[in-house]
């Protein structure tokens, strides 16, 4: 525990100056977290009003940061803006890129970043779908780049998927993991590059069946949401699907579960729907999207509840093992 703590402090000491490329929602949320953790942040973006955009998002993030126990006074004390990408990264220890989700744009950005940054700057991309292998083709030193894909919003949700490309060096992966860990995030290194990485693929798989059930008229969107928040959502906040089924197998664990309930599970798999998002389906789904309040109000309510749940799962256990921590 003490060793981790020391390593943590060391990592932030040597990764103190961060440049955030792209001042959209993700970039601004990263900025809020970096600032609250005491880092010096330079934001760069070609849009003329990036100052306003970032300040707006910082404002929105303050209640969550405060609830997570982070300091929020004078949050923008160590924040500066620099429209010129080269100048913005020249002095950076870390670059967290959040540009548009297009391969040619990312390649162009990272080629320019590599040229202007120091040779030891850690290069991270927030992309949710483009492979490090592909972006790195534009780099002279492809081993320097790794994906650090957050689950939105980065200042609140712990997961960061760290996805190395074919040429990413082990040292860069380890630095990325140490950096995110020091920020209080939960980095998880993937062993292979797959479209959508892991969290979004799992989310897509559940959502496909959710769409199917609404299209079939089994439940409405609201009813389905209520079912999730009062069952699997609660479960998966504290134990993932494998551990949950391991416990579902009694003293025989997952092997017993698979032996006895595997056939039923396979027969459910065969019955799952494969809807498409054609015009009629999109219209049906959009027509039901009335959640009784404005998006802003719903977002505030969700974030407040999210913080309570985060506090609940991170509270110390009275038992020897903590389900969400120890693996």
Whether the CB-CB separation of 156 and 64 falls below 8 Å is answered with yes
Using the rule CB under 8 A, is 151 a contact of a copy of itself? yes
Looking at 82-90, 92-100, 171-179, 315-323, which segment touches a copy of itself (CB under 8 A)? Answer: 315-323
d(CA 85, CA 78): 18
Binding mask 207-226 for a copy of itself (x = CB under 8 A): xxxx--xx-xxxx-xxxxxx
CB of 24 to a copy of itself, least distance (A): 11
Crossing angle of the two packed helices 50-67 and 295-314, in degrees rounded to 10: 40
Say how many C-beta atoms besides its own lie within 10 A of residue 202's C-beta.
14
Binding of a copy of itself by 4 (CB under 8 A): no
Residue 188 interacting with a copy of itself (CB under 8 A): yes
CB of 119 to a copy of itself, least distance (A): 31
Tell me how far, at minimum, the Cβ of 303 lies from a copy of itself, in Å.
Answer: 9
Q: How far is the CB of 188 from a copy of itself (least distance, A)?
A: 5
| Per-residue contact flags (x/-) with a copy of itself for residues 264 to 303, judged by CB under 8 A | xxxxxx-xx-x-xx----x--xx-xx-xxx-xxxxxxxx-
- Measured from the CB atom, the residue of 86 and 195 that comes closer to a copy of itself is 195
Residue with tokens 């082990």: 170
For the segment 42-81, give every residue that binds a copy of itself (CB under 8 A). none
Place of tokens 């990413």: 168
Shortest Cβ 175–a copy of itself spacing (Å): 19
């Amino acid at each position: 525990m003490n060793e981790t703590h020391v390593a943590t402090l060391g990592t932030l000491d040597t990764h103190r100056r961060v440049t955030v490329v792209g001042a959209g929602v993700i970039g601004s949320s990263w900025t809020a977290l970096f600032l609250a953790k005491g880092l010096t942040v330079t934001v760069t973006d070609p849009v003329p009003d990036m100052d306003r955009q970032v300040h707006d998002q910082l404002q929105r993030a303050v209640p969550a940061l405060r609830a997570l126990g982070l300091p929020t006074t004078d949050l923008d004390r160590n924040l500066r803006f620099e429209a010129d990408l080269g100048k913005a990264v020249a002095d950076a220890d870390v670059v967290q890129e959040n540009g548009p989700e297009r391969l040619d744009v990312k390649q162009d950005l990272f080629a320019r970043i590599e040229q202007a940054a120091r040779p030891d700057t850690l290069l991270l991309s927030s992309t949710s779908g483009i492979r490090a292998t592909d972006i790195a083709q534009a780099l002279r030193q492809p081993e320097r780049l790794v994906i650090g894909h957050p689950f939105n919003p980065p200042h609140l949700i712990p997961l960061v998927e760290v996805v190395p490309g074919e040429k990413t060096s082990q040292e860069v992966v380890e630095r990325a993991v140490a950096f995110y860990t020091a920020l209080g995030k939960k980095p998880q290194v993937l062993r292979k590059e797959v479209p959508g990485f892991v969290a979004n693929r799992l989310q897509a798989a559940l959502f496909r069946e959710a769409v199917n059930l609404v299209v079939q008229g089994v439940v409405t969107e609201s009813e389905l949401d209520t079912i999730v928040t009062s069952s699997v959502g609660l479960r998966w906040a504290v134990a993932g699907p494998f551990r949950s089924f391991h416990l579902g197998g009694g003293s025989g664990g997952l092997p017993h579960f698979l032996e006895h309930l595997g056939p039923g599970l396979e027969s459910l798999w065969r019955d799952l729907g494969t809807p498409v998002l054609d015009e009629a389906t999109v219209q049906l789904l959009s027509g039901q999207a009335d959640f009784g309040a404005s998006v802003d109000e719903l977002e505030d309510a969700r974030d407040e509840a999210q913080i309570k749940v985060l506090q609940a799962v991170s509270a110390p256990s009275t038992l020897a093992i903590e389900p969400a921590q120890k693996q």
